[in-house]
Chain A
Amino acid sequence: MDWVIRTFSSSVGKKSLMAVTGLGFVGFLAGHLAGNFTAYLGPAALNGYATHLHELALVVKAAEIGLVLFACVHVTTGLLLFIQNLAARPERYSGKKWAGGRTLSSATMPYTGLLILSFVLYHLFEFRLNPPEPTALFAFVANYFKSPLNVTLYAAAMLVVALHVRHGLWSAFQTLGANHPKYMPGIEKLSILFGLLVAVGLGFIPIFFLFAVNHVAG
């Protein structure tokens, strides 16, 4: 067991934990994205999707347990790396200029990560702890997005998620050693594309409800 601890407490070991759990979240996000897209198709589609999902209670439960475990690993390892990286340069530069490698996304990972954590907790509190009936989900969401605060919060959170994923996705492949001249350019593009998909696809849901649904309804 000694070697397991040594492996995962090393710098590359911790990064590998971040990469594997991060890719798990990307998978979840892709699924959540596909499911939420049914909202654009109207009440029947979204409620139908929710009903089907509830029929898979066992699978959902397993996924939930997995995601919570992944979150624990991702958050604690991420915080540890963040603190260690700050400590690795006690005296800062007076005026550091970046050479062009860094992106807004890569430079803000710990901060966007913590913002996402707080949003996820809030989001779970709003939608998971007091869940509506699956057949009434569309109405529930429509009502939820009557509040401009909820609309702004959700849309802003999706921008933050997009920013986090844009660096996280390709970075996970690099960390796990999957950097190949044939595939890496594609993976980098996929990261940007997935980030955009999250920002636009999910970010527009509250705006869709605010203007298209609630405006027409009332």
Chain B
Amino acid sequence: MSARTINLTLKIWRQRQGEKKGAFETFEARGISTDSSFLEMLDVVNENLTLSGREPVAFDHDCREGICGMCGAVVNGRAHGPEAGTTLCQLHMRHFQDGDTIAIEPFRARAFKVIKDLAVDRGAFDSIIQAGGFISVNTGSSPEANSTPVPQENAEAAMDAAACIGCGACVASCPNASAMLFLSAKVSQMALLPQGRPEAAKRVLGMLRKMDALGFGNCTNERECEADCPKEISIAHIARMNREFLKASFFSKEK
């Protein structure tokens, strides 16, 4: 299959570091291979900007394999672009037509500050994890695998939750900028496994209070997060987290 090339008009959000305001700037991207990924397309644009002595567009990226959760932008109004179950780095240019205009802007939320252009500080997620997204165990040699039996069904559900890469698309696409899908995935992956039970009540309360304090919005079950999540995490995890919260609030000793 031979690669085609397409020409695009890009409207990219530019915001200088340390400034609160930004604006769209228009670029022409010529001769973009349809085999390239969205980030590779931005690399080409940046190379041309650098060669012409202009400031390249800052954007987040790392593994470019869809597993690290570092990349992400709102492309044509959708977090990670229009394809379902895809991170921005795995979005390929064959999904666009020659002559298309593509609008690219950063993830927006009060809790996610724009650092520069499309690069966003998602450190708020780290703070939420620090507030309880872990289990406390003594290190040592690995235990015998079958000493703690886990039903296959629970292991699968925990794995589905653990697929969350913490990219922040759920916050970006939520009409309320809520982080409930992220939070619920992190609570669920441990709540479902025996190793996570001892700290379950403390975990859900701690993480939820941290999320509230960081200025994320409240979930109103709009389901936009689930539709835009590159790992297709289900809102059934949000319901599980709500159960964990009610259990912890009313039936545990945790205050």
**Chain A interfacial positions (CB closer than 8 Å to B):** 2-3, 6-7, 10-16, 81, 84-85, 87-102, 106-107, 109, 167, 170-171, 174-179, 181, 184
Contacts and interface: CB of A to CB of B under 8 A. Distances in A.
A174 B103 contact: no
A82 to B, nearest CB: 9
Given A94-B105, A174-B239, A175-B221, A99 B249 contact: no
30 contacts: A6-B255, A7-B250, A10-B209, A11-B211, A11-B212, A11-B216, A11-B219, A12-B246, A15-B219, A15-B242, A84-B218, A85-B176, A89-B110, A89-B217, A90-B110, A91-B108, A93-B108, A94-B24, A94-B105, A96-B77, A101-B222, A101-B225, A170-B221, A171-B221, A174-B239, A175-B242, A176-B242, A177-B239, A179-B238, A179-B239
B235 interface: yes
Nearest to B212: A11
Interface in B14-64: 24
Given A81-B220, A98-B224, A10 B108 contact: no
Contacts of A11: 178, 180, 208, 211-212, 216, 218-219
A10 to B, nearest CB: 6
B212 A100 contact: no
A102 B221 CA distance: 9
Interface string B137-164: 0000000000000000000000000000
The 7 A-B residue pairs with the shortest CB-CB distance, nearest first, are A101-B223, A97-B77, A88-B217, A177-B243, A179-B239, A99-B227, A85-B176
A139 to B, nearest CB: 43
A101 B226 contact: yes
Contact of B239 (A89, A94, A178): A178
